[in-house]
Structure 1
């Protein structure tokens, strides 16, 4: 009896660890999907409100890169059997709304600063998630180089202002 109780306890612990790992992957994917939706809309906003050609070009790059990335994230989420968000988070929507009221050189500066902070945070989260040996980890690993390119470009935008 004692042995089977110990075995049951070990099984419960390993199942709890597995589900904690799954929750971690689901949390990451939820944030990644919301982030991709936000980046696409911010990219569109940059093309409308940006003053410099560099900011408008960066906006196109965001929309072009984050659209397909989001499809990969949605596929990974489906593979984990989770419900996916259908748009950006409330904070991301608020950031977009705030920036939509600005244009010209002021927009370019605010946008570059926001993109640097956002991509630095994203890269850290993606690197952490890339250690998972599941669909979320595979997705994260495949996006880090693109996020780094976005960060480097955002830094060059900031330097140009």
Structure 2
């Protein structure tokens, strides 16, 4: 009787141990896979393991390569077109006559709004003139040392005017000039491939827009001036 009981117990223990070993054996591959799942995998596993790990790795390499390409592009000489060069020349010439015009407004004008506009012109074009000289030197673009004969004639006309006459001449000459160059700035910024020209166009745009507004604030700009600008900037 005792021997029979002992035999039963032994049989149960053997069966239990065997079940545990089978369970452990069946869990081992899953446990290994889980451990290798986060980017480790097994050598030669191809797409096995944590699938996104391979994707992220390739994405990072691609992004790094693209960043290097962009850096290489920036380090290469950027093109300077004839339009870019003409733009720099125009900005330079504008400062050469509009700064003196702004200075004349302080002595010859009778309107405080005109004097204020003159101050804006002196400040804005002084900063643009410094920028254009720096950019022209960097890009190797020759720029003039004097305004065009037409621009010099405008300055002479203002030198000979006083009071209300000066106010009217100043407001209309400067509003017409700024209106035409404002349209040109947009064309240059839209087409240029040069980072310096893009920066310059952005600064010029902000400056000219400010000048348009202070000139219009004088209330002296004639309808004929607006019509002249519209004709000049309308695509042919």
Q: TM-score, normalised by structure 2?
A: 0.57
Alignment of 1:5-154 (within 5 A): 22-131=81-190, 132-134=192-194, 135-154=196-215
1:45 deviates by 1.2
Task: Summarize deviations over 1:13-46 as a string: whole Å, max 9, x none.
Answer: xxxxx97x52221111111101112111110111
Kept after mapping to 1: 8 A contact 2:128/2:203: no
CA–CA separation in structure 2 for the residues paired with 1:23 and 1:39 = 24
1:114 deviates by 1.1
Q: Secondary structure at the match of 1:125?
A: helix
CA–CA separation in structure 1 for the residues paired with 2:197 and 2:149 = 23
Q: Relative to 1, partners in 2 of residues 1:125 and 1:160: Cα closer, same or farther, differing over 3 Å? A: closer
1:159 deviates by 4.6
Q: Aligned Cα RMSD in Å?
A: 2.0
- Tell me, yes or no, if structure 1 residue 157 matches structure 2 residue 218: yes
Larger radius of gyration: 2
Moved over 4 A (4+): none
Q: Secondary structure at the match of 1:158?
A: coil
Q: Relative to 1, partners in 2 of residues 1:101 and 1:84: Cα closer, same or farther, differing over 3 Å? A: same
Q: Give ranges in structure 2 of 5+ residues lacking alignment.
A: 1-77, 223-236
Q: Relative to 1, partners in 2 of residues 1:34 and 1:160: Cα closer, same or farther, differing over 3 Å? A: closer
1:160 deviates by 8.9
Q: TM-score, normalised by structure 1?
A: 0.81
Count of residue pairs the alignment pairs up: 143
CA–CA separation in structure 1 for the residues paired with 2:199 and 2:124 = 17
1:47 deviates by 1.1
1:87 deviates by 2.3
Of Structure 1 and Structure 2, the greater helix share is in: 1
Q: Give ranges in structure 1 of 5+ residues lacking alignment.
A: 1-17
